[in-house]
Amino acid sequence: MDSEPTDLQALLRSLRVWDPAVTELPPFDLAEAPGDPLTLFTRWFAEAVAAGQREPHTVTLATADAEGLPDARVVMLHGADEDGWSFATHAGSRKGRQLAARPYAALVFHWPVLGRQVRVRGPVAVAPAEEARADLHARSTGALAAALTGRQSEELGSPEELARAGEAAWERAEREPQTPVPSWTLYRLRPDEVEFFQGDARRRHVRLVYRRDQAPQDGWHTGLLWP
């Protein structure tokens, strides 16, 4: 018997934003903001982990195709340092092809347990191949098996086809944990702009934005945005 249809509008209206039972909205003291966004990002990331945020390293990656049409998906952050925020995929995947055509992207981290978002955008560069190999082989057997399965974003004929390819890839990953995957690519987004959003219960949200100076020291200047 079919279940009753869901009233989407009623369901949406029943939901709360930043339910105090599960969310704490800490104050954002702008006087304590560091001079660079990486330091603040590292601090906020650690606070999200300590607060129990599930999978805080997942991030929405937005790209555009050759015609300029937007696309977005959730990926995993592989690192963040002075060279940029890092993520990885196959060069022939949809996002890999889009980055080849338009090497510019945006990232959005959402940590609702603290009512926080971090938005990062800027040009994207390909890391050296040896760094991509080291990144892949430092991950789990499942990650290597998925990379060996390959063909990401291609048309799939059936679930059985995926099951066969996945089983063979898993066996190879266990047998040859250092096997190379030439298409696996590590990307680095070097931000021009990073925004830190702290939610407020009375909707007086704080939005601190860092923008990169172009010359001469290539440092950062900060400003505030209306919520």
Q: Give the model confidence (pLDDT) of 99-149 as tens digits.
A: 999 999 999 999 999 999 999 999 999 999 999 988 888 877 778 778 878
- CB neighbours of residue 49 within 10 Å: 12
Separation between Cα atoms, residue 114 and residue 48, nearest integer Å: 7
Q: Please write the tens of the pLDDT for every residue from 169-180.
A: 788 878 877 888
3-state secondary structure of 79: strand
Check: CB of residue 115 under 8 Å from CB of residue 23. Answer: yes
State the residue for tokens 């050759």.
66
C-alpha gyration radius of the chain: 20
* 90 in Cβ contact with 152 (< 8 Å): yes
What is this structure's pTM?
0.89
pLDDT (tens digit, 9 = 90+) per residue, 7-61?
999 999 999 889 898 999 999 999 999 999 999 999 999 999 999 999 999 999 9
The pLDDT confidence band at residue 215, using thresholds 50, 70 and 90, is low
Provide the token pair at 148. 């060996």
Phi first, then psi, for residue 138 (nearest 5°) are -85, -5
Is the separation of the CB atoms in 188 and 86 below 8 Å? yes
Q: Mind giving me the DSSP string for 171-190?
A: HHHHH-TT---TTEEEEEE-
Cis before 216? omega within 30: yes
- Asked if 191 contacts 118 with a C-beta cutoff of 8 angstroms, the reply is no
